[in-house]
Structure 1
């Protein structure tokens, strides 16, 4: 590691740690002020941030940036401002009968300095959503955004420096070497959003300092079509969920599981839905480009591999985009050995896997890593509940896609290979807090009866406790 880089990062961390040591429990007013500055920063510079994201992607739908990157942060901040006083309050906890009249409390305390490593696909939201939770909890924050979105990262660094002191929140820009060094810092908590393979490396780096981690990863999130589903409605909602940000979304439906006899009508319904949402691909301002030539080539490679292994490819349009926009393509008859079925797609390609009995769809999901999201479409409540009970996923949306991600009153996070830990709303506050248990002993404590010297009285009391505890 470059020694100058190492020293620079450690100096930034120590500056924040020293500030935290001077003020270990920021007041409600201090935290609200930081959140309000984040809200103003986001609202005031929304257009500039959307422009920077469009520059990084080659083309990115302005409306998608305003909704998915900026509104989501504003909504999260407003939710935190409404509930922060209650979140910060010392919480009563039940006390066992034999400890009365003593009492239990849970005292939320900030952890210290939080490190956040954010990805390129939603470069503002996935940096600032965990940051707002960390600020609400009273922490100092260092952010390392993706090097694949340099314009957005540079603008974030500039805006944060204008709205926050360096010892409150700061953004560290740079290439992969900087990111690697960043994850090796002894933070009080490290929050990472990205791919599962990189998440494993982040966890290993954090383990050197026993730094607790939250990993928001990804995986192959399925959409299951039940025989009771309205195909037209399901197709429209899957098309939206798949093509938001051109499929470059961690909770996008990665593939569809559909009854054999419904594959053909579903395919036609999907193509029709995509054409309604995006009448053209080339030059369409609503349709986002693939972030880089390397990612564009990777997706093309997935299609070439599927074609070579016998899949049927159904492009939704005849366009030949002049830039990195990629025509949405349905992949029929995919086999398990195809790369498109082994890798997280992260683009506008949608394999459809057929099944006979619903248990086959459940078995297919359970045969792979636990996904970040699962989508189920249908009206049969018993079939729905069977899928919910017999599969694991980080989160579920029923009869739609994506929207569980937007719930501030629900936790968001993965399970197994799709991540660990959760945030949003109070779950984000708790992630970046130590809920310190405090036992308040009474002056009239009966626990003195358990002090030595031991004898018959001790044994009788212990026998009584076994009956009532």
Structure 2
């Protein structure tokens, strides 16, 4: 008798809850063993992952899968493994003079069963990245990958079943109905990566169980070319950061702000930079396709609306190839003069479309950024330290890379996460370990202490001790 996906989901969740109850704080060697198995899974099956992702995309650059996914996951595992014992150690916390000789410690404990919902655009990185942090923290993990990457999702399920007990790490595949049921489970922590719109629904579902959530969302991440910047170098970085994975990156530059009068110059240089990166498109294995026909049609509609509104459309097609319904690839496209109310300027693009917007002075550039939702990423290019620091100080975003794109994502010693509509919470490195841990404060009272001097019946001794306490704080 075949078990339905929803029954399977509930069985796996309950099995993990029972397993955690039996071993609620696994020692370092158990956690390191789990990390080692996860690392081996990525190392021994690299070609399988590359092929599966390529099939799901109908054309995904193998080098991008190896660098932007597998390399990042492996680096995260090795970093966690190296620092795990230190992260697990109780923290010595300062104790006020008036509470001594008692002392404080901070203990980090696993939360329990963690649910992870991962997206399609970086299926490996955005599933295994949170999973490695949750496993390092000592949790059991239930993982729901995207239904838009069926070959990857099936492969991950098969490999995880071969390397992990179901009550350690388990994959649950299925469509929207399974995803909706997944986020309604009473997890001890729920981690979701995806769109802001779906993130709101996930948060509402989790709220019914008071499940804490980490939301890694998106938004319109600006790239600002300052008047002081080296335009050729800046444009080369923007071209790479924008068109990696055909723009299907949550931290890709979503629009480009340039000083007044420079839009055409920057567009020409971008066209040249993209041509160097991708001298051909449809036949080029380095240039990734759009994940689905529906997403490609959405991009076409955005371009058409901008064109109808008077914007100038610059399609970069170096080999003069014909793009039609037979290919899911979409040419890199620059848009100059898009109306402020166009979808292209209101919604996250998530594709190889780059609006170029002119600004008149730094005040206006900062105002343009601040008038929208707080973005997941911000990129600033220039030599002016004063202008750089103004932008850093007067804008709020999830993270920033200065004079380049994307690289703040891979700093294991820094947190990664959004702010407001671009997300809540953070992970990577120790920040991920802490996200999936309960940091429990403990005060150890000394045998000889003055606490009883504050007990009732209240009187002269209490008043004397309270005055003394006030002088000490």
TM-score, with structure 1 as normaliser: 0.98
Residue 417 of structure 1 is matched in structure 2 by 421
Q: Distance in 1 between matches of 2:454 and 2:96?
A: 16
Residues 224-275 of structure 1: per-residue CA shift (max 9 Å, x gap):
1100000000000000000110000000000001101221211111111100
Residues 3-32 of structure 1: per-residue CA shift (max 9 Å, x gap):
954433222111001001110110100000
Moved more, 163-172 or 313-322: 313-322
Matched, 1:431 2:422: no
Q: Which runs of 5+ in 2 are unaligned?
A: none
Matched, 1:397 2:389: no
The CA RMSD over aligned residues, in Å, is 1.0
Q: Distance in 2 between matches of 1:84 and 1:113?
A: 19
Q: Distance in 2 between matches of 1:93 and 1:262?
A: 54
CA contact (8 A) 1:319 1:327 kept: no
CA contact (8 A) 2:5 2:174 kept: no
Q: Distance in 1 between matches of 2:243 and 2:414?
A: 24
Residue 212 of structure 1 is matched in structure 2 by 212
Q: Distance in 2 between matches of 1:430 and 1:203?
A: 20
Residue 385 of structure 2 is matched in structure 1 by 381
Give the deviation of 1:451 after TM superposition: 1.1
Residue 243 of structure 2 is matched in structure 1 by 243
CA contact (8 A) 2:373 2:421 kept: yes
Give the deviation of 1:453 after TM superposition: 1.3
Q: Distance in 2 between matches of 1:10 and 1:292?
A: 30
Q: Distance in 1 between matches of 2:294 and 2:194?
A: 17
Residue 86 of structure 2 is matched in structure 1 by 86
Q: Distance in 2 between matches of 1:206 and 1:175?
A: 19
TM-score, with structure 2 as normaliser: 0.98
Residue 320 of structure 1 is matched in structure 2 by 322
Residues 188-239 of structure 1: per-residue CA shift (max 9 Å, x gap):
0000000000000000000010000000000000001100000000000000
Q: Distance in 2 between matches of 1:334 and 1:466?
A: 62
Residue 157 of structure 2 is matched in structure 1 by 157
Give the deviation of 1:458 after TM superposition: 1.0
Q: Distance in 2 between matches of 1:224 and 1:158?
A: 44
Residue 114 of structure 1 is matched in structure 2 by 114
Moved more, 354-363 or 315-324: 315-324
SS of the residue corresponding to residue 273 of structure 2 reads helix
Residue 190 of structure 2 is matched in structure 1 by 190
Residue 342 of structure 1 is matched in structure 2 by 346
Give matches, 1:123-202, under 5 Å: 123-202=123-202
Q: Distance in 1 between matches of 2:159 and 2:416?
A: 27
SS of the residue corresponding to residue 218 of structure 2 reads coil
Q: Distance in 1 between matches of 2:424 and 2:471?
A: 39
CA contact (8 A) 1:316 1:329 kept: yes
SS of the residue corresponding to residue 52 of structure 1 reads helix
Matched, 1:363 2:367: yes
Residue 330 of structure 1 is matched in structure 2 by 334
Residue 96 of structure 1 is matched in structure 2 by 96
Residues 27-54 of structure 1: per-residue CA shift (max 9 Å, x gap):
1000000000000000100110010000
Residue 301 of structure 1 is matched in structure 2 by 301
Residues 423-458 of structure 1: per-residue CA shift (max 9 Å, x gap):
000000000000111110100111121111111121
Give matches, 1:23-34, under 5 Å: 23-34=23-34
Q: Distance in 2 between matches of 1:242 and 1:435?
A: 38
Q: Which runs of 5+ in 1 are unaligned?
A: none
SS of the residue corresponding to residue 261 of structure 2 reads helix
Residue 268 of structure 2 is matched in structure 1 by 268
Give the deviation of 1:334 after TM superposition: 1.3
